Amino acid sequence: MRVLHGTGPAGLAGMAPVAGSLIRPLLPFRREELAQYVLERGIEWWDDPANREPRHLRSWLRHELVPQIESRFPDLARDMVGLASQAAGNRAAWDALLDVLPEVRWRDDPDGGSVAAAVLAGYDSCLAGALVQAIARRLGCPLGSTRAARVVEFAVRGRSGAILELPRGWRVEIAFERLRFLRPAPDRSVSPITVADVPSGTRRWGSWTVTWTPEAAPERQQREGTRAWFVPGMLTVRPGRAGDRIVPLGGTGHRSVVRCLQEAKVPRSQRGHWPVVEAEGRVVWIPGVCRSNDLLPAQGTEAVRVDVGYS
């Protein structure tokens, strides 16, 4: 069935016995073996009538086409299992190459995965295409050889900030010398939310979780941390806006929020969904990027601790 649909070599591997948390312990057994097992033990089973309905391709193949082929090639089932085993081994080998080729520099990202763009672009087109398909399989992105070739061509052009749209909401982006495969973005609101209007709580903001609680202020705060303490008051989490500026912790002058995100190597595709914390019209924090000098509580005084995490 995969061949008739034009699959590539990796598609011939068929179902995996273990896929994440899904385990298929009955794959090694033929239908006849399973039927004999339940009959001998008097176990009830469900006989799906769709399995005999020829309008379904799998049923037509199983009941009409395969018996005709087996009349000339009686070892068809054994040979197809052998082919699937070889294809599975080949697919596993390409996947392993992502981790054993140091120059590829594979990295799991919160929204997908990425490799070194220039290295991939420098490979032979066949090797690069096979690695791109291995990346897509690892992430669960549907990608055939034609679209894999487009991704390789995209990497060769190497224009930072460019985005290539792929099927089912997937995207590929070049950012800071990396080729990033981005999962479809969840449909989550990034409208402003209020933090610290009650003593403690947790709120969702896009793909982020914001938690706050009363806690005495520490002696020091991290400039690039995802936890910060503020003088008690109303805080707002919102997307960045054109012209936003911040006074970095320990600094004296204002810096643009966009510049801070660039220096922290936040890809362009993420900047519009990166949280900015505002108080009284001033940007006081870019979580994970830059804490400001504003609303710094003195050590040991009453404060609001805010934690922001990507999920």
Q: Please report, rounded to a whole number, the percentage of residues in the chain having pLDDT higher than 70.
A: 98
Task: Provide the domain limits for residue 283.
Answer: 193-310
pLDDT exceeds cutoff 60 at 202: yes
* In a shared domain, residues 173 and 108: yes
**Which letter does DSSP use for residue 192 in this model?**
-
Q: Which residue has the tokens 């922290």?
A: 264
**Does residue 38 form part of some domain?**
yes
Kindly list the distances between the CA atom of residue 23 and the CA atoms of 15, 26, 37, 134, 142, in Å, as whole numbers in the listed order. Answer: 10, 9, 20, 22, 22
* pLDDT digit string, tens, across residues 102-127: 899 999 987 899 999 999 889 999 99
Which residues are CB-neighbours of 200 under 8 A, at least 6 positions away?
211, 212, 213, 214
**pLDDT mean across residues, the chain:** 90
**Does residue 206 form part of some domain?**
yes
Of 48, 64, 95, the one marking the end of a domain is 95
Residue 242: its pLDDT value, please?
87
Q: Which two tokens stand for residue 22?
A: 């899904």
* pLDDT digit string, tens, across residues 28-87: 898 889 999 999 999 998 888 988 899 999 999 999 999 999 999 999 999 999 999 999
* In a shared domain, residues 207 and 292: yes
Handedness of CA 241, 244, 249, 251 (dihedral sign): positive
**Which letter does DSSP use for residue 5 in this model?**
T
What's the CA gap between 153 and 157, in Å, rounded?
A: 6
Residue 260: its pLDDT value, please?
94
* 189 band by pLDDT with thresholds 50, 70 and 90: low
**Does residue 3 form part of some domain?**
no
Give the predicted TM-score (pTM) of the model. Answer: 0.70
* 25 band by pLDDT with thresholds 50, 70 and 90: very high
* In a shared domain, residues 21 and 70: yes
pLDDT exceeds cutoff 60 at 188: no
Of 67, 95, 123, the one marking the end of a domain is 95
* 170 band by pLDDT with thresholds 50, 70 and 90: very high
Residue 186: its pLDDT value, please?
64
Host H or E run for residue 269: helix 268-271
Tally of domains in the chain: 3
Q: Please report, rounded to a whole number, the percentage of residues in the chain having pLDDT higher than 90.
A: 66
* 195 band by pLDDT with thresholds 50, 70 and 90: confident
Residue 11: its pLDDT value, please?
87
* In a shared domain, residues 210 and 303: yes
Amino acid in position 296: L
* In a shared domain, residues 218 and 161: no
* In a shared domain, residues 169 and 229: no
pLDDT average, residue stretch 166-172: 91
Amino acid in position 75: D
How many C-beta atoms surround the C-beta of residue 146 within 10 A? 8
How many C-beta atoms surround the C-beta of residue 289 within 10 A? 23
* In a shared domain, residues 218 and 304: yes
The H-assigned helical ranges of the chain are 31-41, 57-60, 66-72, 76-100, 117-122, 125-139, 145-157, 257-263, 268-271
List the one residue out of 176, 45, 153, 157 whose CA is nearest residue 105. 176
* 16 band by pLDDT with thresholds 50, 70 and 90: confident
